[in-house]
Amino acid sequence: MDLTSLFEPRSVAVVGASRQKGKVGYEILTGLVNGGFEGQIYPVNKSCDELMGLRCYGDLREIGQTPDLVVIVVPSQAVLGVMQQCSALGVKTVIVITSGFKEAGPEGRKLEEQIVKIARTGGMTLLGPNCLGVLSPANKLNASFAGMLPKLGKIAYLSQSGSLLAAIIDMAGAIDLGFSKLASIGNKAILDELDLLRYYGQDEQTEVIAGYLETIADGDAFVREAERISHDKPILLMKAGETGAGAEAASSHTGRLPGIERAREVVFERAGVIRCGSIKQQFDYASAFANQPLPKGPGVAIIANTGGLGIMAADAIEREGLQLARLEEATTDALRSSLPSSANIHNPIDVLGDALADRYEYALDHILRDPNVESVLVLLTPHAMTECDRTAEAIVRAARHDKPILACFLGSSRVETAIQVLRKGRIPCYDSPESAVRVLKAMADYSRWRNRPKRVIRLFPVNRRKVEKIVERRLRTGERELGELEAKETLEAYGFVTPQSLLATSPEQAVSFADQIGYPVVLKIWSPDIIHKSEVGGVRLGLMTPQEVMDGFDLMMYRIPKKRRDAEILGVLVQEMCKRGREVVLGMHRDVHYGPLMMFGAGGSMVEVLEDAAFYLAPLTADEAREMLKGSRTYRALLGDHGHEGVDIDAIGEGLQRLSQLATEFPQIQEIDINPYMVGRQGTTPIAVDARIIVDQPT
């Protein structure tokens, strides 16, 4: 979608322009004029002849030509008529600032649907309604009521909240942060976050994309587009408004786990999007990404004029998973030859409290030449002799290298002008070592993501036709849950091994099946109405003799109907007793926005007790499956600990990939829960002991 006329119009009409200060129509017209917009401005207000020295028109038709951009600020009931005029005149781009549409209730929703219909019929691009407008500092365009046009920079911003965008513009000015373009998307009647993301992605004036979102219209498309753009430009997003509705409706272990909410963060990780937990954090990240090169690795060097601050930074580096760069001998020799004998020449480098600007500059120059150093953090506290401003100037001069330099000047009035020097020299300065290190971590993670190997999805030979028949049959009956036998048949079609199982309807038949399978065996009550079998005494393990099988069958069929009078009991499943191993759980929950989220964690009865779960978005590569395992607390135990033998990690990873393929190829499958998935030592075959699969028509 071409948004040139939205951000680079040659002419703008403001319908609802006003002479009354404080009115939105006044502020938008004022913003256009005071911002220095060089194109034609057409105020439209039938009650005025002139506004701010500009001729005022009674309606759009009086202008005599078609504006590139029309900004509508009239009351909601009058918007429809203006949209009709726009359509008749062939206007291609419209911003509806006015509120009172779907956010206001059913009547507003109906009105919004009407203006959307007019826009689509007329081939118009529509931003809003209920939005702040757009700003394009590069084109001196302030078609908003945000106030002053912000400083020109390399960051493009999109926001679902107009008020938040206004605050961000004001806050950014205080830290000398500039923007290429900004847009408030409001109700997203036509233009949404995906359209803005695509435009910002190809915009030559934009190097960093940032934003605030509450909802994402098409999660799957968003992930694909964000992943493509992130290879060239970092995307920094605040995402609010996640709800637990999907998890509350889920019936499997996977869907009910509290981690399902945290799991949505992995969607951003997959797409290379950097999630920001606050405005401050977003500003911290944006300052660095917009002004500094990316680090080539995790090795950080610290220069400080106080040992304590250097130690704080070193601790933060270790906590964040970065590394203190090990300096080469040539670097330490150079530092030793010039720094005072009491200075610490090893990382973190302490240039001492009496360090003047030249000592900082000398140390910084040699550290930046060290091939083991991939980023530098410069720390300063103002002592009586500290040359704060000159040290800042020295840091700016050193920024000719292709390694990121971040600073933390702790203090107040004595470092105030020095911080301004740093910012003007494009050196981000932070209020604590911890904040600076978090930024370096985000930069290093993004750099690693961008340089990751190409994703290769392994496709296993499977029996899709068998699964199609099972799913189609279940959907025809209107029942969402596959029976255990059907679930296991589905998994077997995708290469999983399940215990041999047979359904018995009498104690004699149960014994016959146990004799066929071989002892020991497991008995499970078989009912479509009983999900948690163990809670009603519906599971008997390790039965060794025919008599134990017969007694177990009779006891279940006697007791369970009394506990669950509503349940239809079809018999008892006689199942092979699996050899001992580690119990884990593999799962999938199809998120309404983003698609299939794969899950791995501790299995068996501990799945909901430990709440140990790692998530990732399907389809999975082998590396991503391995990273999922590493992301769980269970992983260390799987490697072997406290005298226990480790298990076949690669086999679990393959299981996750097979399940990922099943979820990807069958959008009808809403949830999968393999628990326990019994895994043994290297070279043994994991067993899908129990499984539940929920299906539904894909939305």
Domain boundary among 422, 450, 478: 450
Q: What is the pLDDT of residue 635?
A: 86
Within a domain: 45: yes
Q: What is the pLDDT of residue 87?
A: 97
Within a domain: 85: yes
Domain identity same for 365 and 444:
yes
User: Token pair of 275, please?
Assistant: 């999630």
Cα–Cα separations (whole angstroms), residue 413 to 308, 410, 417: 21, 10, 8
Q: What is the pLDDT of residue 261?
A: 54
In the structure, what pLDDT confidence band is assigned to residue 246 with cuts at 50, 70 and 90? Answer: very low
Q: What is the pLDDT of residue 248?
A: 41
Percent helix, strand, coil in the chain, to 5, is 40, 20, 35
Domain boundary among 576, 603, 633: 576
Measured at the CA of 308, the angle between CA 302 and CA 309, to 5 degrees, comes to: 45
Domain identity same for 593 and 549:
no
Within a domain: 549: yes
Residues 347-375: what's their mean pLDDT? Answer: 97
Least confident of 223-227, 413-417, 499-503, 526-530: 526-530
pLDDT at residue 546 greater than cutoff 50? yes
Domain boundary among 450, 483, 509: 450
In the structure, what pLDDT confidence band is assigned to residue 245 with cuts at 50, 70 and 90? Answer: very low
Give φ, ψ of 30 to 5 degrees. -60, -40
Domain identity same for 538 and 617:
no
Within a domain: 509: yes
Give φ, ψ of 316 to 5 degrees. -65, -40
Within a domain: 195: yes
User: Token pair of 259, please?
Assistant: 């981690």
Peptide bond into 382 cis (omega under 30): no
Give φ, ψ of 598 to 5 degrees. -80, 150
Measured in whole angstroms, the distance separating CA 242 from the mean position of its chain's CA atoms is 11
Within a domain: 282: no
Place of tokens 């689509």: 120
With the CA atoms of 195, 200, 202 and 204 taken in that order, what torsion angle do they form, in degrees rounded to the nearest 10?
150
Domain identity same for 559 and 592:
no
Domain identity same for 558 and 617:
no
> Among residues of the chain, what percentage have pLDDT more than 90?
79
Beta-bridged to residue 211, according to DSSP, are 158, 237
Tell me the per-residue pLDDT of 75-84, one tens digit each, with 9 for 90 and over. Answer: 999 999 999 9
User: Token pair of 2, please?
Assistant: 């071409």
Within a domain: 284: no
Q: What is the CATH number of the domain that holds 637?
A: 3.30.470.20
pTM of the model: 0.86
Between 595 and 44, the higher pLDDT residue: 44
Instruction: Count the neighbouring beta carbons within 10 Å of the beta carbon of residue 281.
Output: 18
Within a domain: 174: yes
In the structure, what pLDDT confidence band is assigned to residue 605 with cuts at 50, 70 and 90? Answer: low
299-304/375-380 β-pairing: parallel
The whole-angstrom separation of Cα 442 and Cα 275 is: 9
Q: Note down the domain range covering 444.
A: 293-450
Highest averaged pLDDT of the listed ranges 262-276, 554-568, 625-639, 640-654:
554-568
pLDDT at residue 88 greater than cutoff 90? yes
Domain identity same for 72 and 160:
yes
Phi-psi sector, 284: left (phi>0), alpha (psi -120 to 50), beta: alpha
Domain identity same for 48 and 127:
yes
User: Token pair of 84, please?
Assistant: 């009709």
Tell me the per-residue pLDDT of 224-242, one tens digit each, with 9 for 90 and over. Answer: 999 999 999 999 999 876 5
Tell me the per-residue pLDDT of 613-644, one tens digit each, with 9 for 90 and over. Answer: 889 999 999 999 999 998 888 888 888 766 67
Domain identity same for 547 and 600:
no
The whole-angstrom separation of Cα 124 and Cα 113 is: 14
In the structure, what pLDDT confidence band is assigned to residue 484 with cuts at 50, 70 and 90? Answer: confident
The whole-angstrom separation of Cα 20 and Cα 22 is: 6
Q: What is the pLDDT of residue 242?
A: 53
Instruction: Count the neighbouring beta carbons within 10 Å of the beta carbon of residue 670.
Output: 26
> Is-contact 188 217, C-beta < 8 A?
yes
Quick one: which of 528, 458, 575 has its CA closest to 694?
Answer: 528
Q: What is the pLDDT of residue 593?
A: 81
Q: What is the pLDDT of residue 265?
A: 76
Residues 537-552: what's their mean pLDDT? Answer: 93
Residues 357-384: what's their mean pLDDT? Answer: 97
Q: What is the pLDDT of residue 481?
A: 87
- Per the prediction, the chain carries an average pLDDT of 92
In the structure, what pLDDT confidence band is assigned to residue 400 with cuts at 50, 70 and 90? Answer: confident
Give me the DSSP letters along 634-698: HHHHHH--TTPPP--HHHHHHHHHHHHHHHHH-TTEEEEEEEEEEE-STTPPPEE--EEEEE---
Tell me the per-residue pLDDT of 15-26, one tens digit each, with 9 for 90 and over. Answer: 999 999 999 999
Domain identity same for 419 and 508:
no
Contacts of 670 (CB under 8 A, 6+ apart): 480, 589, 590, 694, 695, 696
Tell me the per-residue pLDDT of 316-325, one tens digit each, with 9 for 90 and over. Answer: 999 999 999 9
Q: What is the pLDDT of residue 1?
A: 81
Beta-bridged to residue 163, according to DSSP, are none
Q: What is the pLDDT of residue 356?
A: 96
Domain identity same for 678 and 608:
yes
Give me the DSSP letters along 496-552: -----EEEESSHHHHHHHHHHH-SSEEEEEE-TT-S-GGGGT-EEEEE-SHHHHHHH
Q: What is the pLDDT of residue 251?
A: 39
Q: What is the CATH number of the domain that holds 142?
A: 3.40.50.720
Domain identity same for 565 and 589:
no
Long-range contacts of 604-608 (CB under 8 A, 24+ apart): 604/675, 604/676, 605/534, 607/253, 607/257, 607/675, 608/253, 608/256, 608/257
54-55/50-51 β-pairing: antiparallel
Number of domains the chain is built from:
4
Q: What is the pLDDT of residue 262?
A: 58
The whole-angstrom separation of Cα 588 and Cα 352 is: 55
In the structure, what pLDDT confidence band is assigned to residue 243 with cuts at 50, 70 and 90? Answer: very low
Beta-bridged to residue 236, according to DSSP, are 210, 274
Q: What is the CATH number of the domain that holds 530?
A: 3.30.1490.20
Q: What is the CATH number of the domain that holds 386?
A: 3.40.50.261
The whole-angstrom separation of Cα 146 and Cα 135 is: 9
Q: What is the pLDDT of residue 264?
A: 64
In the structure, what pLDDT confidence band is assigned to residue 171 with cuts at 50, 70 and 90? Answer: very high
In the structure, what pLDDT confidence band is assigned to residue 256 with cuts at 50, 70 and 90? Answer: very low
The whole-angstrom separation of Cα 121 and Cα 87 is: 8
The whole-angstrom separation of Cα 109 and Cα 208 is: 34
Domain identity same for 313 and 375:
yes
Give me the DSSP letters along 28-56: HHHHHHHTT--SEEEEE-TT-SEETTEE-
